[in-house]
Amino acid sequence: MRNTYPLVKGFVTSWPAAVCSAAWLLSACGGGGELASGVAGAASPLIQHTVVLESTLGALPDDLGAQMAQPLFHLAPALPAEPDDIDTDGQGRSARRAPSRLTLYADQQRIDTRRLSPQALQHPTRGWDTPGSLLPTTPADAQAQPLATTATASIYTPAQIRAAYGLPALPSNLSGLSAAQAAQLGAGQTIYVIGAKHNPNVAAELAAFNQRFGLPTCTTLAIPATTKLPLVAAPTTGCQLSVAYSTAAGALTSTVPAYEVGWATEMALDVQWAHATAPLARIILVEAPDASLNNLLGAIQLANAMGPGVVSMSFGSLEGSWTASADSAFATANMTYLAATGDSGAAVSWPAVSSKVVAVGGTTLTYAGTGTRSEASWSGTGGGVSLYTLAPSYQTTAVPGMATYRGRSVADVSFNADPASGQYVATQAPGASTVSWISAGGTSLACPQWAGLLAVANAVRAVSAKAALGSPHEVLYRQIATVPGTYASAFADITRGANGTCTTCLSKTGYDTPTGLGTPNVGGLMSALAGASLTAPAPSPAPAPVAPVVASASVSGTVGKALSFNINATSANAMSYTLTGAPTGMAVNSTGTVSWATPVAGSYAVIAVAKDSKTGLSGQGSYTVTISKAGLVIAAPAVNGIAGKALSGSITISAPGATYISTSISGAPWGMGFSSTGLVINYSWASPVTGSYTLKVVVTDSSGQTAQASVPITVAAK
């Protein structure tokens, strides 16, 4: 038997059968004496009830501008010893010795190194439920796997990285340098580091990094919101560091973003290693208010307005059909844009996928202080063939190893990125008076170093009165990679390793998606870039007609969220497209774009057929389409109150793709009322009574999915 009584207008409160009417609450509902004392204000439970709320939802907007990007750094899962002072005198003597080693015990080897925070390493027992904390990489219910008792990771200094990749040793005295010598250190150039949130100690961290490794010191220069743009040219002597705050509209602002440890760590390593590569370049850190795509694009637009330079973007967001709409941000003359390819293996992310951006992948470095470095592609590096961005004209079969894909291939180039072959970074938490040292990796570490290299190339070109490189893809692919001797001189071709099990995931001779054209042999690369003509050669002749080549791929989506992807096909002529085995509602248009407005959960094997409009020849590829159910999420913080003092709050539900939800709330104390508006449930209690209570919230959506949460309520005595 269940009696129902209205609690809030428009909703129904369902009471347990034992609660028959308010008139005999104290005599018939679980112990009159106990309930009587509870009503009087003692710390005893009140009569509890269950609330059932029904909400009909409209279509949830897919606001791409609010989509968040992630910083792409990794940290070694243990704190290294403080680096010694062998390099503090500026002689770079560590270049002639092997890197330091960091011992990792079995439990440390299980830690997920992505966006691991320095604070979590310093306090390993805290913060296990927060991003960037010491979370095991295996689920709690997985079978334990045997690990070696210990493993080791390498940690490189700036002098060791310069020696490994062939950058010149820093001069012992920076005064009296010739223009050509200063250019080798990036003098007169600007590197824009794009980040989100705020790092209040970026200058102090850089100063500590410079002092420990004998690098040129940097003066700091504020950029007020009233500064006239473009900025004055970068100085040709000395390093300069500035921090600018941007708006979504690409304007300067005086509003300082909030601190966030992950982004602060990202910006620290970006600034320090861009400086280590181009020690006399001006560095401007542009901080967006948050990591939404709209705000990051605003930061890029502000960099464009500030004047010519090299833009380093160590963040990423999964690619989509929207990425082409953001390409105008990368079209400013005399600007070079670079982005990390990601840190989760074979995948394609924005902004690296843009054909106007240099996509920087990652390797695992081995260098002992003498001889030649050895590298393999890092298993975590991003890279692959885009489903949405067409292959650019510079990616042709004239480039060794380059296959004929319909989509853009990333990476373009690579650099050390494995946290097991990490590099020192100085970090300083808010309120701390000294820095701590971490060992960092990720393609976000590779990106600012390539930005530094291209800033040096622009400086060398400027000494010879040559224009800045701007977008360097034509030079890298057509003028370097297609000339065997130049290619071998400028790049170390990475032929070992993989970032997945797919056919395009393997490093091989020539171009490959994990490492692009390879890692820089700086001496040869600078010679090629310094002398490069910025007039691209005539395009290669079109190949003879052959059957279209259609790549196979795996595509994932979510129930109820529109899915779109491109068939990755290549042919000399226009093609028409058909699908076989496609689920109901999936269709392909004349340009090869597959769309499905309302995907249904399941796995589907779809054959994509491309037919050459002139030859009549056809090719086909297999697409495995997996549609997962969207998960329900209940955000229900704990409730604290004082007896007799009204309290109120809300419970928020995320129900992607749902058309309605049903919410059951049990354990509510007498007098607590509820109402709902869409995905928000509001509660209020006019006269709370001392005690501890627990609400059990159960949500069921239109697809039958269920989620639940417990909400503790604590009411203290007056």
Pair 55, 203 in one domain: no
Pair 446, 328 in one domain: yes
**Distance, CA of 85 to CA of 361 (rounded, Å):** 31
- 65, part of any domain: no
Pair 141, 226 in one domain: no
**Distance, CA of 518 to CA of 680 (rounded, Å):** 51
- Cβ count near 230 (within 10 Å): 11
Tokens for 369? Answer: 């202080």
**Distance, CA of 649 to CA of 638 (rounded, Å):** 10
Looking at the 3D structure of the chain, how many domains does it have?
A: 4
| Mean pLDDT confidence for 296-325 | 94
Pair 136, 238 in one domain: no
- 475, part of any domain: yes
Do residues 434 and 116 make contact, with C-beta atoms less than 8 angstroms apart?
A: no
Pair 200, 251 in one domain: yes
- 415, part of any domain: yes
- Tally of residues, the chain: 718
What's the burial of 608, exposed, middle or buried (CB within 10 Å: 0-12/13-18/19+)? buried
The residue among 372, 356, 374, 370 whose CA lies nearest residue 410 is 356
| Mean pLDDT confidence for 303-332 | 94
| Predicted pLDDT of residue 52 | 57
Helix (H, G, I), strand (E, B) or coil at 408: strand
Helix (H, G, I), strand (E, B) or coil at 257: coil
Q: Specify the higher pLDDT residue, 43 or 183.
A: 183
Q: Which of 103-112, 143-152, 213-222, 300-309 has the lowest mean pLDDT?
A: 143-152
- 527, part of any domain: no
Pair 373, 425 in one domain: yes
Beta bridge partners of 594: 565, 588
| Predicted pLDDT of residue 50 | 58
Pair 660, 689 in one domain: yes
Query: Which domain does 665 fall in, by range?
Result: 4-60+633-716
Pair 612, 696 in one domain: no
- Cβ count near 529 (within 10 Å): 24
| Predicted pLDDT of residue 44 | 36
Pair 202, 129 in one domain: no
Beta bridge partners of 349: 318
- 196, part of any domain: yes
CATH code of 590's domain: 2.60.40.10
- 538, part of any domain: no
Pair 109, 214 in one domain: no
| Mean pLDDT confidence for 324-352 | 93
User: Does the structure show a pLDDT above 70 at 423?
Assistant: yes
Pair 677, 615 in one domain: no
Helix (H, G, I), strand (E, B) or coil at 681: strand
User: Does the structure show a pLDDT above 70 at 634?
Assistant: yes
Pair 421, 509 in one domain: yes
- 506, part of any domain: yes
- 86, part of any domain: yes
Angle among Cα 210, 304, 390 to the nearest 5 degrees reads: 105
Do residues 156 and 424 make contact, with C-beta atoms less than 8 angstroms apart?
A: yes
**Distance, CA of 673 to CA of 683 (rounded, Å):** 6
In terms of pTM, does the model score above 0.75?
no
Predicted confidence (pLDDT) per residue in 42-94, tens digit: 333 444 555 555 444 433 234 556 789 899 899 999 999 999 999 999 999 99
One-character DSSP codes across 68-107:
BPEE--EE-SSPPPPP-STTTTS--GGGGSPPEEEEEEHH
User: Does the structure show a pLDDT above 60 at 4?
Assistant: no
User: Does the structure show a pLDDT above 70 at 11?
Assistant: no
